[in-house]
Chains A and B, each alone.
Chain A
Amino acid sequence: MAPTPTPQSHAPQCGRRTPPRPAGPSTEAAMPASLDGELPTRRRNGMRGAGGWSQEPEVPLRAGFPANSPRRNCPEATPPGGSRGCWATGTGVAGGLCAARREHSLAPTSRPGNLASRPPPSLPPLLASQSRCPWHYAHLPRSHDALAPTCFKAKLHRRRGSATPGVAPTWTDRTSPAMGTYTYTYTSRPRPPPCQRRRYRDSLLQPAEEPIRYGNIMYDRRVIRGNTYALQMAPLSGQPDPLEIQRQHQAKRRALARKRAQEQLRPHTPEPVEGRQHVDVQTELYLEEIADRTIEVDMECQTDAFLDRPPTPLFIPAKTGKDVATQILEGELFDFDLEVKPMLEVLVGKTIEQSLLEVMEEEELANLQASQYAYEELRNVELAEVQRLEEQERRHQEEKERRKQQQWEVVHKHNETAQKIAAQVFAQRYLADLLPSVFDSLRDGGYFYDPVQRDIEIGFLPWLMNEVDKTMEYSMVGRAVLDMLIREVVDKRLMMYEHKEDERLSFRPGDRLSGPGAVRDPLVGPEIQGQSTSQSQGPPPDRESLPPLDGRYLEKLSSQERRLLEEEEDEQREMRKSSGKEEPSQ
């Protein structure tokens, strides 16, 4: 039986894989006989030898495992070719325990030389029902304690003697260096936890060394629960009280002994007679494989992740009922006129109704429109009329306004004219004697003057007066000079007389009085004269020069001088008068 890959197995695998040993089959062939009773066939595929083990499942396992198989930290060991057995569970473990036994048992029967030759490093791959737990610590035979793998399912990578059935971890060359290098791989299939119930009785020949109960890992005392970092436990293997250990051992041994005793008490089949051998035989029609192992078949199912849910298949109910046939003749079923009647009713009735409604609606709308238009027309006409009237009215108004304006202007003008006339007349009247009065006043004002006369007055007479003044001055000057002369002479004469008089001893004091009196009057006179000169405008300015000389000259002036002055004053007054007259008359 060629090994065929079993895709379902997930045996962990460490290390290299080597193709299964071709010697497998031979062992397999040899094995079944002995291993019947003990090794349950747990095959996923049905490839089995009759009642025996078939190594294929395990072998192909090996072959078929890609890298995705989980790696267990298993010491590498190459199980013998054609390893088989319980991969997942610790069948190997038990196998380990039983390994020795098995091996022993097997060795004489089935194992070919290889196994026997070498120390059975590998656990018997044929796993009893007992050993399922891969993690079960088991005493590996001999020197494999150190290597005690947690998993006993290991594949044989190395080509070995195919004697090793079942799963077995492949051991490193430590175990059998003579064999060469092999890697330890561990593959195990997921196995259900072994059931407690055993199909068959345990053979007395192979009592379990200790009751190995498998079960739920959760309830396994050996599994550490809780945090592991704070646990200061005594290591499982040693340390605790040796006393305790001893006591436990004793207890175990006692229990085992008790059990054995009980078993022994149980009635058993009598031993075979000499020369005979008891063999288990099935007598039924169909042979039944006897194995303690429950037939387990692993089925897997997986949906394709990306497939849509297929459509529900059409439910076609089963046909029920009776089939009955009938036949319809022409004209039986259908009468056109009858059938068409309701249709027609609806058709025609609805049509008429609808069209009536529509026509009415349209008519209404059209009427509305028409009336609207008519109204609009009317309105337009009216509007036109109104506009016309408005226009007319406006024009009338304008006309009226204009006329009024005109009229008003006329009246205004009329008024103005009347006013103007009145004003003119009044003005005329008012100003009638304006002119004469004006002329009179002007004439009075001297505006109308005879230019010759004016000229004479303005030009000639002043000049004349000047000349007269001059002349008079000259004469006066002459007189003054004459007077001075006279005075001097008189003075001299006086002095001479006075000398003489003095000599006569002052005969007449009265002259002195006249002298000062004469002096005084001339003093007064010039004052008056000064006043008069200041008053008169016309008098020649030479007069004014006279007063500064008063002091001297006027003292010398006599009454003659005074008289002359007075005359002059009179003349001046007259002149002033005349000039004054002239002046206001100018």
Chain B
Amino acid sequence: MGVLCDFAAHIRQWEIDQKPGRGLRRAMPLPDSMFCAQQIHIPPELPDILKQFTKAAIRTQPADVLQWSAGYFSALARGDPLPVKDRIEMPVATQKTDTGLTQGLLKVLHKQCGHKQYVDLADLEQKWKNLCLPVEKFRALLQLDPCGKNMEWMKFLALGCSMLGGSLNSAMKNLCEILTTDPEGGPARIPFETFSYVYRYLSGLDSEIPAADTESYLASLKENISTRKSGLIALSDFFVLKRKF
């Protein structure tokens, strides 16, 4: 509660410091001396902001609330997409690779950065930190495919997906689920070009898989979906197929 008092006082001070026309526009200057509780004026937008923030926090479950809150509010202030998970993700008790990276987090990152093709690594690092993910892992990720200041987002995502699951297929599955616009649980469909691009990239990184195999696999997949007009590949197409193999 003490924290909250401070927080409220901080808000109040912030309110006072606010230039008119920015943020809480209708903030009237506090009287110098207040005499009763009724004089305390709560800005009308505050409850809503608090609620949204609380909900985001509950959904995202950041390890470091303050760090994440800073990221959240700066993103909010800038008007960027917020580092909020859309769904609560129950933390997996055991993870193969203990990066703390989950599909949800990747989704958040994708939400934040997906609109541009190239992302600035510094910015990306900051976002990574805001999600309370270990920076070492970030570095490790980058090690897989070193590049300059900018990086193609798709590649990063692909690397992230590969970090999630062990195999290429699981990575592709994760990728599908992240990139798809279909509702959750539905057929996670993505355009085939994207799929093939990422698949090639990942298989290219992995030196064990020969390129010919990749191409043939992709060709076969393409055949399967050629009947469909949309040109989208769904999870069932390759995931199920693999099982049969």
Measured CB to CB, the residues of A under 8 A from B are 328, 330-331, 333-334, 336-337, 339-345, 347-348, 350-352, 354-356, 358-359, 363, 366, 369-377, 380-381
- Given contact pairs A343-B42, A351-B50, A351-B54, A377 touches B35 in the complex (Cβ within 8 A): no
Q: List 28 A-B contacts (CB under 8 A).
A: A334-B33, A334-B35, A336-B34, A336-B40, A339-B37, A339-B40, A342-B37, A343-B8, A344-B1, A344-B4, A344-B5, A347-B8, A347-B47, A351-B50, A352-B54, A354-B54, A355-B52, A356-B54, A359-B58, A359-B59, A366-B86, A366-B87, A369-B184, A370-B87, A370-B184, A373-B183, A376-B186, A377-B187
Q: Given that A344-B4, A377-B186 are contacting pairs, would A354 and B51 also be in contact in the complex, using a CB cutoff of 8 Å?
A: yes
A381-B237 Cα distance, complex, nearest whole Å: 10
Which residues of chain A are near B40, meaning CB under 8 Å? 336, 339-340, 343
CB distance from A251 to the nearest CB of B (A): 94
Chain A nearest Cβ from B46, distance in angstroms = 8
Chain B residues packing against A (C-beta within 8 Å): 1, 4-5, 8-9, 33-37, 39-40, 42, 46-47, 50-52, 54-55, 58-59, 86-88, 182-187, 236, 240
CB distance A347 to B50 under 8 Å? yes
Q: 5 nearest interchain CB pairs? A: A373-B185, A370-B185, A355-B54, A374-B185, A373-B186
- B183: chain A residues at CB < 8 Å are 369-370, 373
Contacts of A328 in B (CB 8 A): 35
A-side contacts of B59, CB under 8 Å: 359, 363
How far does the alpha carbon of A345 sit from the alpha carbon of B5 in the complex, in Å?
A: 9
Whether B5 contacts A337 by the Cβ 8 Å rule is yes
Instruction: Tell whether, in the assembled complex, residue B88 and residue A373 are in contact, meaning their CB atoms are under 8 Å apart.
Output: no
Nearest-neighbor residue (CB-CB) of B187 within chain A: A377
Distance between B182 CB and nearest chain A CB, rounded to angstroms: 8
Please indicate the chain B residues that have their CB under 8 angstroms from the CB of A341 in the complex: 1, 5
Q: Which residues of A contact B33 (CB under 8 A)?
A: 330-331, 334
Task: Tell me how far the C-beta of A425 lies from the nearest C-beta in chain B, rounded to whole angstroms.
Answer: 61
Q: Please report the C-alpha to C-alpha distance between residue A374 and residue B236 in the assembled complex, in whole angstroms.
A: 12
A348 contacts B185, CB within 8 Å? no
Nearest-neighbor residue (CB-CB) of B87 within chain A: A366
Say how far B221's CB is from chain A's closest CB, in angstroms: 17
Bound-state CA distance A330–B37 (Å) is 15
- Nearest B residue to A352 via CB reads B54
Residues of B within 8 A of A337 (CB): 5, 9
Distance, CA A366 to CA B34, complexed state (A): 46
Provide the residues of chain B in CB contact with A371, threshold 8 Å. 185
- Among A333, A343, A350, contact of B35 (Cβ-Cβ < 8 Å): A333
Nearest CB on A from B94, distance (A): 22
Q: Which residues of B contact A339 (CB under 8 A)?
A: 34, 36-37, 40
Let me know if A355 and B187 touch, CB within 8 A: no
State the CA gap A567–B218 with chains docked (Å). 128
A339-B36, A343-B37, A348-B50 known; 4 new pairs, CB 8 Å cut-off, are: A334-B34, A351-B54, A370-B184, A377-B186
Query: Can you name the residue of chain A whose Cβ is closest to the Cβ of B49?
Result: A351
Residues of A within 8 A of B4 (CB): 344, 348
Query: Once bound together, how far apart are the Cα atoms of A543 and B182, in whole Å?
Result: 126
**B5 and A340 form a contact (CB under 8 A):** yes
Please tell me which one of the listed residues B5, B87, B182 contacts residue A363 in the complex, with CB atoms under 8 A apart. Answer: B87
Contact (Cβ within 8 A) B185 A344: no
Q: How far apart sit A330 and B35, CA to CA, in the bound complex (Å)? A: 9
On chain A, the residues within 8 Å of B55 by CB distance are 355, 358-359
**Cross-interface CB contact of B88 among A359, A374, A377, cutoff 8 Å:** A359
- Given the known interface contacts A339-B40, A343-B42, A344-B4, the answer about A363 and B54 at a Cβ–Cβ threshold of 8 Å is no
Contact assessment for B58 and A369 in the assembled complex, using a CB-CB cutoff below 8 Å = no
How far does the Cβ of B174 sit from chain A's closest Cβ, in whole Å? Answer: 16
Q: Residue on B with the closest CB to A371?
A: B185
Contact A336 B36 (CB under 8 A): no
| Residues of chain B within 8 A of A347, CB atoms compared | 8, 42, 46-47, 50
Q: Is the CB of A377 within 8 A of B236?
A: yes
Residues of chain B within 8 A of A340, CB atoms compared: 5, 8-9, 37, 40
Q: Which residues of A contact B46 (CB under 8 A)?
A: 347
* Complex Cα gap A356–B35 (Å): 35
Interface centre among B1, B54, B185, B240 (most CB of A within 10 A): B185
With the chains together, A373 CA to B234 CA distance in Å? Answer: 14
Inter-subunit contact A363/B88 (CB<8 Å)? yes
Contact B9 A336 (CB under 8 A): yes
User: Which residue of the partner chain B has the closest CB to A339?
Assistant: B37
By the criterion CB–CB under 8 Å, are B184 and A373 in contact? yes
Closest to B52 in A: A355
Inter-chain CA distance A359–B85, complex, in Å, is 11
Query: B201 to nearest A CB, angstroms?
Result: 27
Residues of chain A contacted by B54 (CB below 8 angstroms): 351-352, 354-356
Contact of A351 with B47 in the complex, beta carbons under 8 Å? yes
Contacts of B186 in A (CB 8 A): 373-374, 376-377
Q: Which residues of A contact B51 (CB under 8 A)?
A: 351, 354-355, 358
B192 → chain A closest CB, angstroms = 19
| Known contacts A347-B42, A347-B50; A366 and B184 CB within 8 A of each other | yes
- Give Cα distance in the complex from A366 to B1, angstroms: 33
Q: How far is the CB of A178 from chain B (nearest CB, A)?
A: 96
Asked, given contacts A334-B34, A373-B185, whether A344 binds B8 with beta carbons under 8 Å apart, the answer is: yes
Expressed in whole angstroms, the Cα–Cα distance for A347 and B1 within the complex equals 11
Q: Is the CB of A356 within 8 A of B42?
A: no
**Complexed CA–CA distance, A356 and B47 (Å):** 14
Q: How far is the CA of A350 from the CA of B47 in the complex (A)?
A: 9
Q: Which residues of A contact B184 (CB under 8 A)?
A: 366, 369-370, 373
Among A339, A351, A371, residue most surrounded by chain B Cβ atoms (within 10 Å): A351
Interface centre among B46, B186, B236, by most A CB within 10 Å? Answer: B186
Name the residue of chain A whose CB is nearest to the CB of B32: A330
Docked pose: A375 CA to B5 CA in angstroms = 48
Cβ B236 vs Cβ A372 within 8 A: no
CB distance from B87 to the nearest CB of A (A): 5
